[in-house]
A and B are shown apart, each in its own frame.
Chain A
Amino acid sequence: MADRVPVGVNVNGTNYARDVEPRDLLVYFLREDLGLTGTHVGCDTSQCGACTVLIDGRPVKSCTMFAVQANGRQITTVEGLATNGELTPLQEAFWNEHGLQCGFCTPGFLMTATALLQSNPSPTEEQIRKGLEGNLCRCTGYANIVRAVQSASKAMSAGAGVATPEPVLGRA
């Protein structure tokens, strides 16, 4: 088999050094070498966006990139959004607005929308839809995903993440 080459990345604040095959895609490196299975594989042609992660803050479909190309980069995956069990306003909004059903595409949407709100904290509905066009969802018809992004945008502008959602039955 091909020679393995070293790769060093920072994922969700932790440094990792691994030897990989040059042909290893970043998404499989994250899933299989680092055990971060929240990033999903939904297609083989970079259409579905389920594998979207942030690389140095920018959303990238991690199936379009080799692991070796990520050498030295800062990567954020869905596992890195919540800190100490505290959800981000966007994660809260996906929950509150029923922005997911089967949940398989959700990590990709969360990462794309996180980047969208960072670059444009108050997007219009059209900008949200345009911004999410690289991600496919088969369950929700996108209605509640768009609402979730709108609602997160409001929550973030109201208090930069300190807005406490209404108490909700069913949360233990």
Chain B
Amino acid sequence: MAISQMIGARIHRREDPHLITGGGRYVEDLVRPGTLAMAVVRSPHAHARIKRIDATAAQAIPGVVAVLTAADFKPLLTGTHPVAPAFVAQKQTVPQRFPIADEEAVFQGEPVAVVIADNRKLATDGAQAVDVEYEPLPAVMDLFKALEPDSPRAHLGQVDNLAWDLTYAPEDTVKDAFVQAEVVVKERILQQRLAPVPIEPRGVVAEFNSFEDQLTITMATQNPHFIRLFVSGALGMPETKVRVISHDVGGGFGSKISPYPEDYLVAATAKLLKRPVRWIETRTESIQTTTHGRGQVFDVELAARRDGSLLALKVTQYLDAGAYVGTFGAFQPVACLLSGGAYKWPGGIAARTIGVLTNRVPTDPYRGAGRPEATHLVERMIDKLAQEIGMDPAAVRQKNFIRPEEFPFTNNFGLVYDSGNYNGSLERALELAGYADFRQRQERARKEGRYLGIGLSTWIEICGFGPSAATAPATGGMALVESAQVRVHPTGSAQVIVGTHAHGQGHDTTFAQIAADTLGLPYESIEIRHGDTAEGAAFGYGTYGSRSLAVGGMAVRTAGKQIVAKAHKIAANMLEAAADDVVFDQGRFHVKGNPGNAKSMGEVAFAAYGAGLPEGTDHGLEATSYFDPPNFVWPFGAHICEVEVDPATGEVQLQKYVAVDDCGNVINPLVVEGQLHGGIAQGIAQALFEEVAYDPDTGQLMSGSLAEYLVPTANEIPTPVLDRTVTPTPSNELGVKGIGEAGTIAASAAVINAIVDALQPLGISHVDMPASPDRLWKQIREAQEGVRA
């Protein structure tokens, strides 16, 4: 059948009209009569023993309904916080987590008590009146000190602070290559902690209907079905009695994937009090207690020849897990498996990941999760090598790229890259960036005492999670396939209920494009629904990891094709023709060679609910499909950043940003470009501005508001020059990859490489993130003094 015009069309989003007129339905907008507000009393200490909780003063405030502590929740909640057991065998210490601290608080912001009151203000008043006596304990903050035998423990009584220690490939793997190497470059690369900062903080509303024993949870989440799975389990309720609804979600970036303590606490309290209960996170709470991203240190060594041929890589990842291992925290060592990037390493890659427990909030996936770290380390090391051997960084890359004819390509860890044309995107980016002229401009500028630099990042990623065979073992049994249910109504309108859940990605539009073309129905007749566990297929896997299109979009496609197959039989019967003699084209079934004698999909839909169906055909026109992809998908691209660094102030000016990306076939270019714009901004933000800072001794959060945690504004982020190449994946029928994280994965390396390139005359060969003016100014001053001396 012909793929018609909707797939690939630059159409405007159908999500927008209600969002630009104030009609959004975010969780805080939900109003239920009689709703109680919850406020959370949180530990002000990074690590402390809880000696006593006195709620007398709080309970005396009129309007305060209850003050609840761990003792109250223990009979209501069973089990502990889920952790995807990606490294079960290697796990040393995975502390059990109950949603609220009992005798010991292990990070600043951990819940200690909750106050339930008639409204938000009274709940806050009550929380301030709860008197908690703490005995402060030593805080474990430094990753390397934490691993020393005499270090205090992040939890009392813990054997050590080692969450995991896993060697993917031992150093022996690369021993020969390092012996043969003509040049070895080394670096310690920091990945600072980042706060995801969706502009809508988290929020949960729970209502318990005791007549039906039914709990309804409305919340801001990226995956309602997983929340239902976890919360129903903790409450000891069957999934049929728990419904999770999520309407509009104001951004997530990974931070709304995992279940949080408040999800359980609000649900349990609503069930206990038989009243609707609501908790809305403040921004301070968000930076303090919503999971952070990154928080890693990499020790890297690269072996090569003087002609720029890469040989081998050694990577050790130290990952700050925080006080508990995040639900999907163990995904982030994927950075090791992708550390080879877009290049061939004939001498192998040695890789080891070490997870460390500290007294900070847990880390978990944040936009890119493991892939920005991989890209940053390998792209930094390629540039260091280029600098060391005096070779053009573009040429080093081109010399070592996996070539188009080498796909499918099995990397050093057995992962199979589906398709790529890495030099194709680089060539185009070099052209758009004016790379050929840049070195002359740079030379002239240097003579004037100005520091211009250019940085390349030729990124790849793994996304589209994922094949059940690969993902189920890593998540404790739940695969990451995806579901879609298509229901064509008698008059030809269709509902498509998907298991993914958009939080800004535009699925209502792009999935309708896929469904319209697949079903042969007008785009306007298709309604996309998501975010309610009471609708559609029994399970949905959610939106994260750039998976929604390549897995969820394919589920829409496969469910749609089941509809077409059934409609085909009914149409043949209506046309009094053999099914083999009927073709489906542009939404119409007709007898071969006689397009005039046709039945539209709408007519067939009506017939499907009437009389006279072919023998053996059930009534109705609906289908449910779960799509299990055969492989991950592997987008790629080339980003180039041009900067000027002011040596007097350390300020970095972004002069130009070029991105040529390849996500296979594109469903809607408008949406793809939007994802890149935002992703690049987040990568630039990591490179230049953002860092969750804690006091290294006390564990006090020092960047607890948006006044200290510097999310860039429109002043700091230039509009990037975008282009793309198209290399479809062979792994799915639509030929699509993913684009949600691409910009973030690529950008930090391009920016930092540009800064290092600018500062080369000072002998600077590495700069850590964020390259803030103060940090850069100090580094420049030290280098200048070194140069003079």
Chain A contacts to B: CB under 8 angstroms: 1, 21, 23-24, 28, 31, 35-45, 47-48, 50, 77-79, 81-82, 87, 91, 94-96, 98, 100-107, 110, 128-130, 132-147, 168-172
Contact = CB atoms under 8 A, between A and B. Distances in A.
A45 B706 contact: yes
A171 B523 CA distance: 10
Given A102-B503, A171-B14, 4 more contacts: A37-B28, A101-B506, A104-B251, A105-B199
B16 A95 contact: yes
A134 B282 CA distance: 19
Contacts of A172: 14, 524
A166 B762 CA distance: 53
B199 A42 contact: yes
Nearest to B722: A143
Interface string B514-537: 000000000110000000000000
A73 to B, nearest CB: 19
Nearest to A168: B12
20 contacts: A39-B22, A44-B284, A96-B12, A101-B251, A103-B504, A104-B250, A105-B199, A129-B713, A133-B715, A135-B713, A138-B711, A140-B677, A141-B719, A141-B743, A142-B717, A143-B719, A146-B714, A168-B12, A170-B11, A170-B12
Contacts of A48: 199, 283, 706
A138 B24 contact: no
B283 A45 contact: yes
A43 B121 CA distance: 16
A51 B28 CA distance: 13
B21 A79 contact: yes
B13 A170 contact: yes
A87 B670 contact: no
- Nearest first, the 4 closest Cβ-Cβ pairs linking A and B are A38-B22, A104-B250, A103-B19, A102-B504
A16 to B, nearest CB: 16
Nearest to A128: B714
B26 interface: yes
Given A40-B250, A168-B11, A170-B14, A102 B199 contact: yes
A103 B16 contact: yes
A170 B714 contact: no
A63 B505 CA distance: 28
Nearest to A107: B22
Contacts of B19: 100, 103, 106
Interface string B1-40: 0000000010111111101111110101101000000000
B253 A138 contact: yes
B787 interface: no
Interface string B334-346: 0000000000000
Contact of A146 (B679, B711, B719): B719
B720 interface: yes
B75 to A, nearest CB: 33
A42 to B, nearest CB: 4
A172 B336 CA distance: 48
A42 B280 CA distance: 11
A78 B503 contact: no
A45 B284 CA distance: 9
B670 to A, nearest CB: 5
B714 A94 contact: no
B200 A139 contact: no
B12 A95 contact: yes
A42 B251 CA distance: 11
Interface in B254-291: 280, 282-284
Nearest to B502: A102
B681 A141 contact: yes
B201 interface: yes
Nearest to B18: A103
Contacts of A96: 12
Please indicate which of the listed interface residues A35, A36, A128, A136 has the most CB atoms of chain B within 10 Å of its own CB.
Answer: A136
A13 B115 CA distance: 39
Contact of B715 (A28, A79, A129): A129
A136 B503 CA distance: 17
B23 A38 contact: yes
Given A45-B283, A138-B199, A140-B678, A87 B20 contact: yes
A85 to B, nearest CB: 9
B714 A129 contact: yes
Contact of B22 (A23, A37, A133): A37
Interface string B543-560: 000000000000000000
B219 interface: no
A135 B711 CA distance: 10
Contact of A133 (B251, B280, B503, B713): B713
B750 to A, nearest CB: 14
Contact of B674 (A31, A82, A140): A140
Interface residues of B, number: 65
A136 B199 contact: yes
Contacts of A138: 197-199, 251, 253, 678, 682, 711
Contacts of A128: 714
A130 B677 contact: no
B283 A141 contact: no
Contacts of B62: 1
B544 to A, nearest CB: 14
A132 B20 CA distance: 17
B26 A104 contact: yes
Interface in B42-96: 62-63
B24 A103 contact: yes
Nearest to A38: B22
B760 interface: no
B706 A43 contact: yes
B705 A47 contact: yes
A121 B705 CA distance: 34
Contacts of A139: 251, 504, 674, 678
B680 interface: yes
Contacts of B679: 141
Interface in B433-454: none
Contacts of A44: 282-284, 705
A47 to B, nearest CB: 4
B673 interface: yes
Contacts of A110: 20
A146 B671 CA distance: 17
A104 B249 CA distance: 8
A39 B19 CA distance: 11
Please indicate which of the listed interface residues B9, B20, B197 has the most CB atoms of chain A within 10 Å of its own CB.
Answer: B20
Contacts of A104: 24, 26, 198-200, 248, 250-251
Contacts of B29: 31, 37
B483 interface: no
A41 B28 contact: yes
Nearest to B61: A1
A87 B20 CA distance: 9
B680 A141 contact: yes
A36 B29 CA distance: 9
Contacts of A39: 22
B648 interface: no
B707 interface: yes
Nearest to B704: A45
A28 to B, nearest CB: 8
Contact of B714 (A40, A106, A145, A171): A145
Nearest to B677: A141
A92 B120 CA distance: 36
Given A98-B674, A104-B250, A141 B717 contact: yes
Contact of A40 (B12, B16, B200, B715): B200
A43 B705 contact: yes
A127 to B, nearest CB: 11
A45 B524 CA distance: 42
Nearest to A2: B121
Contacts of A1: 62-63, 122
Contacts of A43: 283, 705-706
A15 to B, nearest CB: 19
B729 interface: no
Contacts of B122: 1
